[in-house]
């Protein structure tokens, strides 16, 4: 799996856009809305390689923060200018409101691409990049408010271990969110989806990234992945409560959510 | 069927052919796309070539023995030591001048017959020898000229497309030279020459390039 992502790293984003016709962006936006993070949240994004979730998190928290500041200023209408200036100064230093995201990935190349993107797009504060294995995270217990893994858990050999690690590093009250390809139950759609997956995606891989085999692997790994209910059971086994899932696009993609109590 | 073979459905081949054609035009450095285009569209042409080879004593030999041209099989020092004007010496000179190596040819992936896979592999490895015989460098102009020659010789759709669309990226001055001198010469030579895949080049390193040209029927380059 490591070599697949080494060769795939640089063209990862281009391929994602081509394969999903840009819809993966919508899926990730929906994940972020579901998460609805407030400023001060500490997020761990596992298998987050090129930073898509991390950047969305920062954007979301920033805009929530801005709204907060705006509301605060409205309430301060009858204060003196001096007082308003002082309070604004204090708040200005935490445009993120102390929110932070740690991007963890097992693959150095993916992290490299992510860091370059962050620089290019102008993301600097509240972001850190850590090399690590989802089955054995380099973090202490009960550190994070939210744990996300977007299109990454499919590539983990021992999903149960990754879920256990997720449980371990989350604070009590923390939330687990998983965005992943899942099973389409509608038979007609399933046929079309299979056709598209097996006929078109490896071709796109060959033409855009010069790599048929990696994308053939991708399509096959999606088929081998446990369906919605099974994954829900596995998440419950790891100790999470109120485990639920939401299908996107008829089950092509699903968001599973669970809480550590 | 053979190491590196990726079986593909007709739909996949069609998509690959279209995709690789577009990609090859957009990014001329994607040699792998040119290769893929050749493999997915060359079925008929390759069969014709294989039959031509079967019916020719030297070609038949090549199909039997399946020689490969690569740095590990070539004795570079021996070839360099050959007299100037000999095939071996000129071939090595070509490789050095243009800084190319025979090892950069893509192995076939999408050809569904292993003999035809060899034929296309042979075609790719002999491509540099074409440059030597035609006296053309590896710049865009030279490549287009060689493509015209190969298009006539092999009938591979990839060569035809390359010959037709390659000039799109050339300046007008070069286009003029191309149209007035080089292409007509390439076409005449291509039509006149016997099948270039039927030549066992590895046994002819000592033969002077001029004599090989005459034997094949390639007119002297302008």
Residue B19 and residue A212: Cβ atoms within 8 Å? no
- Percent of chain A scoring above 70 in pLDDT: 91
Q: Domain range for residue A14?
A: 1-260
- Note the ipTM here: 0.81
Burial-class residue B165 by CB neighbours within 10 Å (0-12, 13-18, 19+): middle
Residue A207 and residue B6: Cβ atoms within 8 Å? no
Tokens of residue A207, six digits:
């033409």
CA–CA gap between residue A86 and residue B147 (Å, rounded): 73
Task: Tell me the per-residue pLDDT of A20-51, one tens digit each, with 9 for 90 and over.
Answer: 999 999 999 999 999 999 888 999 999 988 89
CA–CA gap between residue A121 and residue A110 (Å, rounded): 16
- Could you tell me if residue B38 is inside a domain? yes
pTM value is: 0.81
pLDDT at A52: 92
Q: Which residues of A touch B32 (CB under 8 A)?
A: 210
pLDDT at A84: 66
- Could you tell me if residue B222 is inside a domain? no
Q: Which residues of A touch B6 (CB under 8 A)?
A: 212-213
Residue A210 and residue B30: Cβ atoms within 8 Å? yes
Q: How many domains does chain A have?
A: 1
Q: How many domains does chain B have?
A: 1
pLDDT at B2: 85
Task: Tell me the per-residue pLDDT of A41-92, one tens digit each, with 9 for 90 and over.
Answer: 999 999 988 899 999 999 999 998 888 888 877 776 666 677 767 766 665 5
Chain B interface, Cβ < 8 Å to A: 6, 9, 11-12, 15-16, 19-20, 22-23, 30, 32-33, 36, 109
Residue B15 and residue A203: Cβ atoms within 8 Å? yes
What is the number of alpha carbons within 13 Å of residue A191 lying toward its C-beta?
A: 2
Task: Tell me the per-residue pLDDT of B32-46, one tens digit each, with 9 for 90 and over.
Answer: 888 999 999 988 999
Q: Domain range for residue B33?
A: 10-216
CATH number at residue A187: 3.40.50.150
C-beta of residue B71 within 8 angstroms of C-beta of residue B101: yes
- Could you tell me if residue B66 is inside a domain? yes
Q: Which residues of A touch B38 (CB under 8 A)?
A: none
CA–CA gap between residue B7 and residue A202 (Å, rounded): 12
Burial-class residue B187 by CB neighbours within 10 Å (0-12, 13-18, 19+): middle
What is the number of alpha carbons within 13 Å of residue A110 lying toward its C-beta?
A: 25
Three-state SS at A261: coil
């Amino acid at each position: 799996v490591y070599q697949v992502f080494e060769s795939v790293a640089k063209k990862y984003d281009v391929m994602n856009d081509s394969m999903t016709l840009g819809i993966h962006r919508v899926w990730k936006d929906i994940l972020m809305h579901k998460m609805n993070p407030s400023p001060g949240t500490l997020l761990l994004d596992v298998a987050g390689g090129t930073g898509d979730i991390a950047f969305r998190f920062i954007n979301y928290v920033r805009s929530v923060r801005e709204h907060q500041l705006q509301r605060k200023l409205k309430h301060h209408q009858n204060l003196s200018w001096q007082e308003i200036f002082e309070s604004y100064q204090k708040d200005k230093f935490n445009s993120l409101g102390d929110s932070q995201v740690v991007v963890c990935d097992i693959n150095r190349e993916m992290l490299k691409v992510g860091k370059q993107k962050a620089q290019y797009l102008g993301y600097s504060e509240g972001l850190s990049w850590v090399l690590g294995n989802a089955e054995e995270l380099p973090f202490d217990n009960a550190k994070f408010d939210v744990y996300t893994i977007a299109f990454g858990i499919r590539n983990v050999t021992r999903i149960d271990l990754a879920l256990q690690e997720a449980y371990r590093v989350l604070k009590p009250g923390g939330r687990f969110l998983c965005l992943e390809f899942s099973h389409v139950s509608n038979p007609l759609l399933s046929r079309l989806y299979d056709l598209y997956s097996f006929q078109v995606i490896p071709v796109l891989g060959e033409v855009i990234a010069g790599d048929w085999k990696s994308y053939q692997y991708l399509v096959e790994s999606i088929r081998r992945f446990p369906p919605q209910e099974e994954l829900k059971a596995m998440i419950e086994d790891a100790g999470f409560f109120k485990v639920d899932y939401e299908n996107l696009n008829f089950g092509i993609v699903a968001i599973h959510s669970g809480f550590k109590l | 069927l053979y190491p590196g073979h990726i079986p593909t459905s007709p739909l996949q081949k069609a998509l690959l052919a279209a995709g690789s054609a577009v990609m090859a035009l957009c990014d001329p450095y994607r040699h792998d796309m040119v290769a893929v285009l050749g493999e997915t569209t060359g079925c008929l042409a390759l069969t014709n070539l294989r039959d031509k080879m079967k019916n020719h004593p030297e070609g038949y030999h090549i199909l039997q023995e399946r020689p490969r041209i690569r740095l590990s099989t070539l004795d570079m020092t021996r070839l360099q030591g050959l007299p100037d004007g000999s095939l071996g010496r000129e071939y090595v000179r070509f490789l050095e001048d243009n800084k190319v190596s025979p090892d950069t040819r893509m192995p076939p992936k999408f050809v569904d017959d292993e003999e035809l896979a060899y034929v296309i592999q042979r075609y790719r490895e002999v491509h540099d020898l074409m440059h030597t015989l035609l006296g053309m460098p590896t710049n865009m102009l030279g490549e287009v000229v060689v493509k015209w020659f190969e298009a006539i010789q092999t009938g591979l759709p990839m060569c035809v497309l390359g010959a037709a669309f390659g000039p799109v990226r050339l300046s007008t001055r070069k286009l003029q030279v191309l149209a007035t001198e080089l292409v007509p010469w390439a076409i005449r030579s291509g039509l006149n020459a016997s099948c270039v895949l039927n030549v066992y080049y590895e046994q002819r390193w000592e033969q002077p390039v001029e004599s090989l040209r005459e034997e094949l029927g390639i007119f002297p380059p302008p």
